[in-house]
Each structure stands twice: as structure tokens, then as C-alpha cells.
Structure 1
């Protein structure tokens, strides 16, 4: 797993697997999931990071597990 914060883009990216991303879907405003060819989530991008409350981020992180 790799977690990267892009300060310039105001985004957090969580890479769960090194596989190839074949599809992405915005599942909620500013929450984008990346899928591999098997339809499994291999990446999670959270946009507008500075505008989200710490409680919201904790919830997102716990739901991703």
C-alpha cells in the first residue's frame, strides 16, 4: 500500500495494488476509485482534502479497509 498527499492538487491518493488501472469512477463528490481489469479497487483518490473534516477522513479510511 502506498499513500501520497499531493499538496498542490489538494488530494490524497491511496494505492492498494500496483496493477494496471483500467477504469475509474467518481463514487461520491471528490472520491474516485480506480479499478483493475478484474473490477477490484486498486486506488482511492480523495480530492478537496483541505475542505474535509478530520472525522470525514477517518470515516473514509475506515470504510476503505
Structure 2
């Protein structure tokens, strides 16, 4: 089941941002870039993105794009 909107959670103490893209059980995670981890469901769909050291990255969430197995930031 897909979410109609992303759910975004930020843990200031750990400086970790999590974007939940869709409902589902995480069965696999893959660090696709240093500190950027994608969570996958049993069908291989991306269901979440975890960004470590978020405040240091200067990422505008409006510019975050999920494209296949990669997470891109528009510049």
C-alpha cells in the first residue's frame, strides 16, 4: 500500500532524517552513498530513505528525488 504523502521524521540528537515513501516491511537496506541508506520491501521497492548527518548535508527536501536505486539532489 502506497502512502499518499511522504512521512518525514528528523532525530536532532542523532542528526538522522528518515523519509517514509510507502508502507511495508523493511527486508533489506543498502547504503547507496556515504550515509544515505535505502530501505526495500520484499518486492524490491524502495520504502524509505535514511540520511545520516543530515544537518551537515545542506539538502533541500523539495529537491530530493528518488530515481530507481539512487537518491539524487537537484542542483
TM-score computed with the length of structure 1 as normaliser:
0.83
RMSD: 1.8
Q: 2:43 aligns with which of 38, 51, 54?
A: 38
Unaligned 5+ residue runs, structure 2?
A: 1-5, 68-75
Give the superposition deviation at 1:51.
1.1
Unaligned 5+ residue runs, structure 1?
A: none
Which has the higher relative contact order, 1 or 2, with Cα contacts under 8 A spaced 6 or more apart? 1
Q: How many Å separate the matches in 1 of 2:66 and 2:18?
A: 12
| Residue number in structure 1 paired with 2:8 | 3
TM-score computed with the length of structure 2 as normaliser:
0.73
Give the superposition deviation at 1:58.
3.2
Q: Greater strand percent: which structure?
A: 2
Q: Greater helix percent: which structure?
A: 1
